[in-house]
């Protein structure tokens, strides 16, 4: 049983690592529902095993190792899926995520900032497309617009977000 301080420490570390682990899981398990279920299992495993964690080492590689083994362990459950990675490829994906994790977190923070700058209707389109996972036809129906207008709108929004993130990264790097 973890103490209150250990639980708080775990929560802080998991909050920092969660988005990278989630990206890794979603890349490895294509079915969104299965990936979310597995991500919750990974979080619970990390919490249960937190007493075994060596605080002198970085948390993210430890969490990614647990995630990798959870994915490998669940392969038999997902074997009916068309896309199942072998262990060597999973290792390469894991290492790539570890290598790029700081940049991904930086870009994710800038994305949040740039999303906040969007007009309310543009934010709603992004939410419908990327959070609610609706296709352009369904978004058009919800917003009472043509499907072409939605596609063009999303294209412009993605371009606006890309430019915003790039400018934020340049601005941040110029201040280092």
Interior angle at CA 134, CA 129 and CA 135, nearest 5:
90
What are the boundaries of each domain within the chain?
1-101, 118-176
- pLDDT tens string, the chain, 176 residues long: the values are 788 888 889 999 999 999 899 988 988 887 788 889 999 999 999 999 998 899 899 999 999 999 999 988 886 665 655 555 677 777 888 888 788 877 777 888 888 899 999 999 999 999 999 888 888 999 999 999 999 999 999 999 999 999 999 999 898 888 86
- Say if residues 19 and 108 touch (Cβ distance below 8 Å): yes
Q: Which CATH architecture has domain 118-176?
A: Orthogonal Bundle (1.10)
**Alpha carbon distances (Å) from 171 to 65, 103, 166:** 34, 15, 9
Which pTM value belongs to this model? 0.52
Sign of CA dihedral 55, 58, 61, 67: positive
């Amino acid at each position: 049983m973890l103490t209150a301080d250990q639980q708080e420490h775990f929560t802080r570390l998991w909050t920092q690592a969660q988005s990278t682990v989630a990206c890794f899981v979603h890349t490895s398990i294509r079915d969104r529902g299965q990936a979310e279920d597995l991500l919750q299992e990974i979080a619970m495993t990390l919490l249960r095993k937190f007493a075994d964690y060596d605080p002198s080492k970085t948390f993210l590689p430890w969490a990614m190792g647990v995630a990798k083994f959870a994915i490998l362990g669940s392969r038999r459950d997902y074997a009916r899926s068309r896309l199942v990675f072998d262990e060597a490829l999973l290792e390469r994906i894991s290492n790539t995520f570890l290598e790029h994790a700081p940049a991904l977190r930086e870009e994710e923070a800038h994305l949040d900032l740039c999303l906040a700058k969007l007009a309310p209707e543009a934010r709603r389109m992004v939410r419908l497309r990327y959070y609610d996972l609706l296709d352009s036809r369904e978004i058009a129906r919800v917003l009472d617009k043509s499907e072409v207008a939605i596609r063009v709108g999303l294209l412009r929004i993605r371009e606006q977000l890309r430019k915003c993130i790039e400018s934020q990264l340049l601005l941040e790097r110029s201040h280092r």
